Chain A
Amino acid sequence: MATELKKVKLTSSEGTEFIIDRKVAEKSVLLKNMLEDVGESDMAIPLPNVTGPILNKVIDYCTHHRDDPFVSQEDDSKKVSDDIDDWDAEFCKVDQGTLFELILSANYLDIKPLLDLTCKTVANMIKGKTPDEIRKTFNITNDFTPEEEEHVRKENEWCEER
């Protein structure tokens, strides 16, 4: 089949065009379906949701993982977050904003491996921190009243490590 050679055009929100192999594009289930349904066409696929830099990163990821076998969607069989290989770890060393954008894009484009990876990374950022530390990391304002906070703390006392 000539899917290897076929190219696909993507347009980011600012209008930047990206040309990628069809095989790479098909790592996104959304793009895969779109291509199948709409058929062969030279028209670019607009992605107003995704900015250029983010799209670039996403394409990076897809290109690097282009030959990965497609894993069937087994729902949450392994909820571990410590199996990130080196390249992926490097890939995720970006600022928080980019990281969250990546999560949203992966969700939108339906690229499960990337979504898993980015979410795991964030999970690792949360793991082992006290609530206060988490708030600091993510710049979250504490909107509990003191009573509410006390209540919740009591409820979860059993989780706390002694």
Chain B
Amino acid sequence: MNNGRKPTQQKGKIKPPKKSNAADSQFSDNWDRLAQAIREIHRKNASILSFEELYRNAYNMVLHKNGDKLYNGVREVITQHLEEVAKDQVVPAFPVSGASSSQANSANGAGGANFLKVLKSVWEDHTTCMLMIRDILMYMDRVYAKSANVPLVYELGLELFRDTIVRSTIYPIQNHLLDVLLNQILLERENEIIDRSNIKASMDMLLELTDTSAKDSVYATDFEGRFLETSAEYYRVEGQMLVGECDAPEYMKKVEKRLNEEEQRVRHYLSQTTEPKIRSIVEEELISKHLKTVIEMENSGLIPMLRNEKMDDLGRMYKLFGRVIKGHEEMKTAISNYIRELGKDINETVSNSATTATAGESHTTGDRQTGTSVAIRWVQDVLDLKDKFDKVQNLALSNDKAFQTAFNEAFEFFINKNLKSPEFISLFIDDNLKKGLKGKTEEEVDNVLDKTITLFRFIGEKDVFERYYKQHLAKRLLLGRSVSDDAERGMIGKLKIECGYQFTTKLEGMFNDMRISTDTMTDFKDYLEKSALERPKLDLSVTVLTSTFWPMNLSASPRCNFPAEITKACDTFQRFYLARHSGRRLTWQSNMGSADIRATFNARKHDINVSTYQMVILLMFNDLPPSQSLSYETIKGESDIPEADLKRNLQSLACAKYKILVKEPKGKEIEPGDKFYFNSDFTCQLQRIKIQTVASKVETEGERKDTREKVEEARKHQTEAAIVRIMKDRKTMDHNLLIAEVTKQLQPRFVPNPAMIKKRIEALIEREYLERAPGDRRVYNYLA
């Protein structure tokens, strides 16, 4: 084959190749041969061709500067071929009318599937041919295409395929293709089996073809948009239908299923880039749009699920709703409201039983029991509620912190709505430490106490709680009611961790006093042995309480006239004690304390355990002839016991289970004018009896008001102390900042009212601890 070049001698001459007629005819020969070869390739007859020859042909053409002619010629041949293919193969395979409609119909599905198959084979043929053509024309690609800035041969082939077949302007191939694809997907969504490989082939084809202006695949420009549109529409309808038909758990299961389906679909035959888009569409249509509806479904929505502890369903809801922005918000709000509802109910049962109780008599010990039991029930209900939601949190919500916060806020809300909550919680602990923990293991004890601490955290007014706890603890210690010393200390330890050292110093002080008192008593006994003093006729046991620790008011120390022997014994002790500790003053607290009396009745003797007041009252009957009575006024006058206490104690003696005294007239209430007789006919099985002393109880309204006032008073002082502390440190501060800082400091104990703080500031200004800055009224200065 003549190439127009000759082997050269030593010094070669370089001449520009001459264009001549010979070259022209050579070109058309070469070209004809190449064109024919390409046609043979298209006819799948490549094996008869000589690769090298064709390559050489192309090489020569480009060398002779006919690259452009070659290129265009190739383009024409391929285009022609593709047009034939479109007409002869693709168009006949069009699915019959109706198959491209959006109706899901198996028959239509088959027609569609066939069309895809044909398209797949056409595409595969084309790509295979193009590879071969590319290899032959590699020289042209390398040398001509780059410099002429035209696409490489293979890309050219893709473009021609795209324009001649997929986007053919002559035949509606694209419409059919897209319709069939969407129809197939629709069929699959309706649970029909389709041939996925066909669809995948079409998708791959669309992905390989590019749209030059969009610089993206034809898949993205032509198919994806429509797919997302139709999918959105499909799921919109589906969502509405399902919400109407299914209950909440069912609905969610179906949604889950759909999400999985779509994910699978993408993985199997769509492009990965579509995955996030279709997922957000499904999430939008099936979840976002129906959040509230599903949550609020009667009998199966979120509240019923919580009520019936359907952890699986709750877990599923949590996961599904987590996918959309507002999902968890809605859940949180719904659950939070539910907790507040339940909390409100719990609070209301309390106030209801309280009102029914106070509607009746308000001074019987019976009511006291009810009062306490109401408190304990309240706390137990709240603890149970907390347990329930902790379980939900754990099992269904994967311990989501945001939810935990929402729960805590809800709990805080309704717990603090109940003004008696600090008192109730203290009573609950009191009850447990008195009897509830008996027989429980150390672990169980710890458990219960921990739970109460979690409740304690929710209380806003921790100082109120402290006050009640001190009162209850005092009674427990003094009356020896505490079940376990370890448990008590454990509780204090936990409170210390929660609130710090300050909170618990006084409590620990109380414990210390008890311990020291036992030591003091031992020493006192020794002293009595050794001394020559007349031993008191009674066995005296004294507990010395440091007044600052214990919740008593010195000024309100109840007066009481002790009988002579008692007074003498007390004086002996006082002398002994003051000899040891100088600079101290002892005041006898007669509202505490108990006495063991041996009483002689007609039948037999009994040992009775009574309170100090009751002892005083009973001793009055000692010198009385049996048939004589003492009137209420007499008793009151001689003993000098405060009225309320007197009435209560008389009730315990005369109107309760063990009637040591007989009251005339009979009845539960103590009225002025009542007469009391010693009940010599009293009988009882037991040798030792205990007369119910004043147990810890829910405060009456009057007592509560009292406590509140004391708390307010203390708060004022604390606020002022905080203000002064801060101002001393900062020297000058803006009003709002000061309020914020004070609130922050006082927060662990209680939440101060800004108006109250302002009042305190004014008070301090008056007392010249602070002043207003001369220039700016909003700024304060510290006055040293």
Could you say which residues of chain B place their CB within 8 Å of the CB of A34? 51-52, 55, 135
Q: B575 at the A/B interface (Cβ < 8 Å)?
A: no
Q: A157 at the A/B interface (Cβ < 8 Å)?
A: no
Q: Identify which of residues 470-520 in chain B touch chain A, using a CB-to-CB cut-off of 8 Å.
A: none
Residues B135 and A33 in contact, CB atoms below 8 Å apart: yes
Residues B55 and A30 in contact, CB atoms below 8 Å apart: yes
Q: B356 at the A/B interface (Cβ < 8 Å)?
A: no
Determine the distance from Cα of A49 to Cα of B55 in the docked complex, in whole angstroms. 11
Q: A15 at the A/B interface (Cβ < 8 Å)?
A: no
Determine the distance from Cα of A119 to Cα of B552 in the docked complex, in whole angstroms. 110
Q: A47 at the A/B interface (Cβ < 8 Å)?
A: yes
How many cross-chain pairs have Cβ atoms below 8 Å apart between A and B? 55
Could you say which residues of chain A place their CB within 8 Å of the CB of B59? 49, 108
Q: B276 at the A/B interface (Cβ < 8 Å)?
A: no
Q: B142 at the A/B interface (Cβ < 8 Å)?
A: yes
Determine the distance from Cα of A107 to Cα of B561 in the docked complex, in whole angstroms. 129
Could you say which residues of chain A place their CB within 8 Å of the CB of B7? 51, 97, 101
Determine the distance from Cα of A66 to Cα of B13 in the docked complex, in whole angstroms. 32
Contact of A100 among B1, B12, B53, B55 (CB under 8 A): B12
Measured between C-beta atoms, what is the minimum distance from A129 to chain B in Å? 16
Residues A139 and B142 in contact, CB atoms below 8 Å apart: no
Q: Mark A5-31, 1 if CB is under 8 A from B, else 0.
A: 000000000000000000000000110
Residues A97 and B3 in contact, CB atoms below 8 Å apart: no
Q: A92 at the A/B interface (Cβ < 8 Å)?
A: no
Determine the distance from Cα of A139 to Cα of B196 in the docked complex, in whole angstroms. 68
Contact of A30 among B3, B8, B9, B138 (CB under 8 A): B138
Measured between C-beta atoms, what is the minimum distance from B157 to chain A in Å? 16
Q: Identify which of residues 45-78 in chain B touch chain A, using a CB-to-CB cut-off of 8 Å.
A: 50-53, 55-56, 59
Could you say which residues of chain A place their CB within 8 Å of the CB of B138? 29-30, 33, 110
Determine the distance from Cα of A34 to Cα of B1 in the docked complex, in whole angstroms. 20
Determine the distance from Cα of A101 to Cα of B50 in the docked complex, in whole angstroms. 24
Q: Interface size on A (CB < 8 Å)?
A: 23
Q: B733 at the A/B interface (Cβ < 8 Å)?
A: no
Determine the distance from Cα of A44 to Cα of B642 in the docked complex, in whole angstroms. 130
Contact of A110 among B1, B56, B132, B142 (CB under 8 A): B142
Q: B14 at the A/B interface (Cβ < 8 Å)?
A: yes
Q: Mark A102-142, 1 if CB is under 8 A from B, else 0.
A: 00100010100000000000000000000000000011100
Could you say which residues of chain B place their CB within 8 Å of the CB of A139? 11-14
Q: Identify which of residues 15-61 in chain A touch chain B, using a CB-to-CB cut-off of 8 Å.
A: 29-30, 33-34, 37-38, 45-49, 51
Q: Mark B1-19, 1 if CB is under 8 A from A, else 0.
A: 1010101111111100000
Q: A81 at the A/B interface (Cβ < 8 Å)?
A: no
Q: B139 at the A/B interface (Cβ < 8 Å)?
A: yes
Residues A46 and B139 in contact, CB atoms below 8 Å apart: no
Measured between C-beta atoms, what is the minimum distance from B129 to chain A in Å? 12
22 contacts between A and B (CB under 8 A): A34-B52, A37-B51, A37-B132, A38-B51, A45-B52, A46-B50, A46-B53, A48-B3, A49-B3, A49-B59, A96-B11, A97-B7, A97-B9, A97-B10, A97-B11, A100-B8, A101-B7, A104-B5, A138-B11, A138-B14, A139-B12, A140-B14
B interface residues with partner A (beta carbon < 8 Å): 1, 3, 5, 7-14, 50-53, 55-56, 59, 132, 135, 138-139, 142
Could you list 8 further interchain pairs (A-B, Cβ under 8 angstroms) beyond the known A96-B10, A96-B11? A30-B138, A46-B52, A49-B3, A49-B59, A97-B12, A101-B7, A108-B139, A139-B13
